[in-house]
Structure 1
Amino acid sequence: MQLGMYVHPWDIADEGARNVFQLLAKNGVQFINLAVSYHSGRFFLPHNPIKKVYYAEEGVVYFDPGQDCFRSSRLKPIRSSSYSGSDILKQSVEIANDYSMTVNAWTVCLHNGRFAADYPDLAVENMYGEKDMNFLCPVKSDSHKYLRSLMLSLATGYDIGEIELESAFFPPAFIHGVHHEVMGIRITPVMSYLLSTCFCQDCIADALSKGIDLNEARKHAINYIHDQILNMRNIGNPAEAENQDLKQALIREGFEDIIAFKTSVSRDLMYYYSETALEAGTNISIVGTGRGLAGSGVDLEFPSGTIKALDLIAYYQNISEISSDVALVRSKLPVNVSVRTGINLSYPYAYNPVRLRESVDSALSAGSNAIIFYNYGWATQNIIEEIQNLL
């Protein structure tokens, strides 16, 4: 059984790379996905020897990107001010070799509030013409040129196993947990999909080149949201709405054009990222939830040879949902794409030995090729040490 662990750079910096890899190797972990480009957040770190509460910076990188790969990129990577004095990725790769472990570059891509604020012309634009201050539009050439530069910088500068792309397409959902985010009405999956679709001029032009009138689709979306607000008390069973097939629900409401547009963009980007990885001599993987990938417009029937693995985020209190998600995704993916199921070691998920074992068994029974735990810094050391008992 192949086991991995998500690790944040401050875990490495504060605990020491050797201490982290020694603990993980002792407990059977064979690879890590190290965050090299990440968003902001407030995290409680139960076994961190330096701090217990950490406010991560928005939209920064935790390695030395250099400048050569970014000369033609309008967007330039911003190094973390908290850890600018050390190259955490370089340290990790060097120490990992001593334990026969692999380091993958976990890369948060278009979910970048710093860039969205500094370059509002690149931000996702909703149906009302309002900017999403957390996400860059994937159709904008400046957006994907930056990601290409980032991938080349990582692959040519470091001996990594692969580059894992997170948020590399359209936003996965409307609700994301922005600071003091409040919704006064229930946002259904269909509403979420529409509200996280970009209708900027570049998207409208791209859609038109594909024979899709995104302007008409935008008007339909505005009318649909308006009707949903007026009829919120008659919206039906919340659980039923959450569990329905999103694509079928969108088709029933007449949004085939938006599905076609987002799917086409995501497929174009898959080829673009894959070609970049091939040029750089590395592989790529994608991370996301089943619902989140659908919301982003990602078709799980990936073009052959484009990705190495899908890290399926399956954080469920109801453990049976893990196997359901894995089975569904496994049935759609090409056979040569590995499914690595993400199991959350934090409360209220796989936070004790019984739930850990049941969660892993649920994923493996449904066809998961590997398990990747989330994450080193948030989990207690006790539950990390329970991993060895799975072997």
Structure 2
Amino acid sequence: MKTSAFLYPWDVVGDPDAPARIADLGIGQVTLASAYHSTRALTPRHPRHRVVTAEHAALLYPPGELYWRERELRPHAAGPWAPGDAFGRAADALAAAGLDVHSWVVLAHSSRLGADHPETSVLNAYGDRYPWAPCIAQPRVRGHLVALAAEAAVRPGASGTELESCGWYGLAHLHAHDKIAGVPLDDTAQYLMSLCFCASCEQGYAQVGLKLAELRARVRWALDPVWRGGPVGHPGAELLAATLAFRARAARELQESAVAAVRARARAGFQVLLHADPRPDRCGANVGVDPAHILGVADGVVVPCTAGPGLLDPFAASAAPRTPHAVLAANLTVVSGMGGRPEALADDAARAAEHGATQLRLYHAGLASDVDLERVRKSGAVG
């Protein structure tokens, strides 16, 4: 089964042994970050450093000055964690080791955008901003993300791309020093806390017959029992159903526009995949989608499967009659310290294949320990 491993440029740049080490896993492809959010990452084998702190969302290559000059919202270049064309240098080194390189582009997840332009962020029912979560219903945000997708995806040396966070982001976020787990939130509560109440969303809700002030009051009323330790009030499911059509439409518009912009800029045969979850109400890195729709837009999906392969089923059911050549990639964490099971990779890959997976993704070859990488290499599951 064709397999790709995720990497950051800083896993490769400055480490001459990295390309051969990755190729020795038996994989044929690397999914290399070209636009990424802020993070703190371990580099356990790098000869120059052990921890890389990416201070803000950034392009990991030099942004095109002419491309961005007339645009209102602009991305930032990386700091010392990925100077210059870090993506290009890493891609060249990986290609020299015989590895196919695809870009990895994170879109609607940027605390830097939220800091520079607070009005672009999701505004919840209580008036709180989520600076990491751009509101994709806002036309200028959507235009920015589409432009970002096109430039960051089609980098020299890349033969395809994977678009992450190409949809709604919400409350759930691995924030620094996160302190929001004191009250458990089920899926409906997470959804209600992720609803946006900005002016663009007000227009969207109006199109489905909802008034913003009334909706805000009803969401607060439904969530009120949660803060006292109880379940979401009974209107919660109704509010989810009432607002989902607008939010799904906004996500579809972004996804269709982003994929079209990438294809318009890329050469023929350039592969475009989306990180996705088959439930349209889901927010985050693996955005909620309608499986039948998304497989008519992108060349396939990357689906989180570390907790089990069940999320593949709706995509497999949609792909079989309509798009039999769609890529259904099962994303499996192989970092033991992050809940991965590299020792069970062969079994997990086999189960994913039974549920329709045609490819594997390994998260994350740069973060994994030597022991975890050795387990991957010996598993016989990759190729």
Tell whether the 8 Å contact from 1:350 to 1:356 is kept in structure 2 after alignment: no
**1:259-270 mapped onto 2 (5 Å cutoff):** 259-270=244-255
Deviation at residue 152 of structure 1 after TM alignment: 3.0
Counterpart of 2:263 (choices 272, 278, 291) is 278
Tell whether the 8 Å contact from 1:140 to 1:202 is kept in structure 2 after alignment: yes
- Report the equivalent of 1:141: 139
Segments of structure 1 that go 5 or more residues without pairing to the other structure are 237-248, 317-321
* Deviates most, 105-114 or 301-310: 301-310
Tell whether the 8 Å contact from 1:343 to 1:373 is kept in structure 2 after alignment: yes
TM-score normalised to structure 1 length = 0.85
1:332-357 CA-to-partner distances (Å, cap 9, x unmatched) read: 4553431111111111544443x222
Query: Cα–Cα, structure 1 residues 287 and 129, in superposed 2: closer, same or farther, change >3 Å?
Result: same
Query: Cα–Cα, structure 1 residues 213 and 339, in superposed 2: closer, same or farther, change >3 Å?
Result: farther
Deviation at residue 309 of structure 1 after TM alignment: 1.9
1:23-58 CA-to-partner distances (Å, cap 9, x unmatched) read: 222222111111111122233332232222332222
- Report the equivalent of 2:304: 313
Counterpart of 1:177 (choices 174, 177, 194) is 174
Tell whether the 8 Å contact from 1:45 to 1:52 is kept in structure 2 after alignment: yes
TM-score normalised to structure 2 length = 0.87
Counterpart of 1:359 (choices 348, 364, 368) is 348
- Report the equivalent of 1:300: 291
Q: Distance in 2 between matches of 1:255 and 1:85?
A: 43
**1:338-377 mapped onto 2 (5 Å cutoff):** 338-347=327-336, 349-353=339-343, 355-377=344-366
Tell whether the 8 Å contact from 1:8 to 1:376 is kept in structure 2 after alignment: no
1:196-229 CA-to-partner distances (Å, cap 9, x unmatched) read: 1211101111333455545433332111011333
Tell whether the 8 Å contact from 1:116 to 1:134 is kept in structure 2 after alignment: yes
Segments of structure 2 that go 5 or more residues without pairing to the other structure are none
* Matching residue's letter, 1:94: D
Query: Cα–Cα, structure 1 residues 155 and 36, in superposed 2: closer, same or farther, change >3 Å?
Result: closer
Number of corresponding residues: 368
- Report the equivalent of 1:72: 70
Query: Cα–Cα, structure 1 residues 255 and 92, in superposed 2: closer, same or farther, change >3 Å?
Result: same
Tell whether the 8 Å contact from 2:122 to 2:134 is kept in structure 1 after alignment: yes
Deviation at residue 293 of structure 1 after TM alignment: 6.8
Tell whether the 8 Å contact from 1:155 to 1:280 is kept in structure 2 after alignment: no
Tell whether the 8 Å contact from 2:9 to 2:32 is kept in structure 1 after alignment: yes
Does the residue aligned with 1:54 lie in a helix, a strand or coil?
strand
Tell whether the 8 Å contact from 1:343 to 1:350 is kept in structure 2 after alignment: yes
* Matching residue's letter, 1:255: L
Question: Are 1:128 and 2:126 an aligned pair?
Answer: yes
Question: Are 1:168 and 2:177 an aligned pair?
Answer: no
* Matching residue's letter, 2:354: S
Does the residue aligned with 1:367 lie in a helix, a strand or coil?
coil
Q: Distance in 2 between matches of 1:155 and 1:78?
A: 16
* Matching residue's letter, 2:369: T
Query: Cα–Cα, structure 1 residues 14 and 362, in superposed 2: closer, same or farther, change >3 Å?
Result: farther
Does the residue aligned with 2:246 lie in a helix, a strand or coil?
helix
Does the residue aligned with 1:145 lie in a helix, a strand or coil?
helix
Query: Cα–Cα, structure 1 residues 220 and 138, in superposed 2: closer, same or farther, change >3 Å?
Result: same
- The Cα RMSD (Å) is 2.6
Does the residue aligned with 1:294 lie in a helix, a strand or coil?
coil
Tell whether the 8 Å contact from 1:259 to 1:297 is kept in structure 2 after alignment: no
Tell whether the 8 Å contact from 2:58 to 2:76 is kept in structure 1 after alignment: yes
Q: Distance in 1 between matches of 2:211 and 2:288?
A: 17
Tell whether the 8 Å contact from 1:250 to 1:256 is kept in structure 2 after alignment: no
1:167-208 CA-to-partner distances (Å, cap 9, x unmatched) read: 12111x523221222233111211111111211101111333
Tell whether the 8 Å contact from 1:289 to 1:314 is kept in structure 2 after alignment: no
Q: Distance in 2 between matches of 1:291 and 1:63?
A: 33
Query: Cα–Cα, structure 1 residues 41 and 364, in superposed 2: closer, same or farther, change >3 Å?
Result: same
Q: Distance in 2 between matches of 1:339 and 1:206?
A: 32
Q: Distance in 1 between matches of 2:36 and 2:366?
A: 15
Deviation at residue 59 of structure 1 after TM alignment: 0.8
Q: Distance in 2 between matches of 1:123 and 1:92?
A: 32
Deviation at residue 126 of structure 1 after TM alignment: 0.8
Q: Distance in 2 between matches of 1:79 and 1:131?
A: 24
- Report the equivalent of 2:317: 331
Query: Cα–Cα, structure 1 residues 346 and 250, in superposed 2: closer, same or farther, change >3 Å?
Result: farther
Q: Distance in 2 between matches of 1:91 and 1:292?
A: 37
Q: Distance in 2 between matches of 1:267 and 1:99?
A: 38
